[in-house]
Amino acid sequence: MSSLQNILRIIPDFPKPGIQFQDINPILRSPKHFSESIKLFEKKYQNKSIDIVACIESRGFIFGSALAQNLGCGIALIRKSGKLPGPVFKETYELEYGTDSLEVQSDAFKNNDRVLIIDDVLATGGTAKAAYDLITYNFNITIIGITFLLELNSLDGRQKLNDIPVFSLLQTDWHLFKTLTTSKKFYFDLICSSIIRALSLGGKNSRSLSL
The residues carrying an active-site annotation are 59, 96
Sequence-ordered list of residues with C-beta below 8 angstroms from that of 188, at least 6 positions apart, any chain? none
Cis? peptide before 165, omega within 30° of 0: no
3-class secondary structure, 50: coil
The DSSP result for 118-163, as a single string, is EEEEESSSHHHHHHHHHHHHHS--EEEEEEEEEEEGGG-HHHHTTT
Q: Tell me how many degrees the CA angle 198-199-204 measures, rounded to the nearest 5.
A: 75
Sequence-ordered list of residues with C-beta below 8 angstroms from that of 160, at least 6 positions apart, any chain? 124, 125, 126, 128, 129
